[in-house]
Homo-oligomer: A and B are copies of this chain.
Amino acid sequence: MKRMQKEVDAYISQFKEGYFPPFEMLARLQEEVGEVAREVQQLYGMKKKKETEEETTLQKELGDVLFVLISFANAEGISLDEAFDEVMEKFRTRDRDRWTKKEELE
C-alpha cells in the first residue's frame, strides 16, 4: 500500500494542479462510486447498457475508486496501511459477534 501511495504521489507531484481540496476529492469519490454502480447494474441488474456507453469493466471501475482513495489519503497525510490495520482491529474486537462463526454451526 505504501508503495502505491508513493507511486500516486510521484504521479500527482508532476503537475501544477497537485491534489484536489477535500470536498473535490469527495466529489470525485462519489463520481467513481457512481460508475461502479452503473457497472454493477449492467453486470447483475435489469438496466440495459446504452449503445453510446463506453466499454468498461468492474476491475477498471474499482481501480478508479482505489486511485481516488489513495489520492485522498495522500492529500490528508493519512497512511492507508494504518487505516487498514485500524479497521481490521475493530472487526476483531468491537464487531466480533456480529457474524456467525462457521464452527458455531457444527
A: residues with CB less than 8 A from B are: 1, 4, 7-8, 11, 14-17, 20-38, 40-41, 43-48, 50, 58-60, 62-67, 69, 72-73, 76, 78-80, 82-84, 86-88, 90-92, 98-102, 104-105
The dominant DSSP class at the A interface is helix
Q: What are 29 contact pairs spanning A and B, CB under 8 A?
A: A11-B91, A16-B105, A20-B45, A20-B46, A21-B44, A22-B43, A23-B23, A24-B46, A26-B33, A27-B41, A31-B34, A31-B35, A31-B37, A31-B41, A58-B76, A59-B76, A60-B86, A60-B87, A60-B90, A62-B72, A62-B73, A63-B82, A63-B86, A64-B87, A65-B65, A66-B69, A66-B87, A67-B84, A69-B69
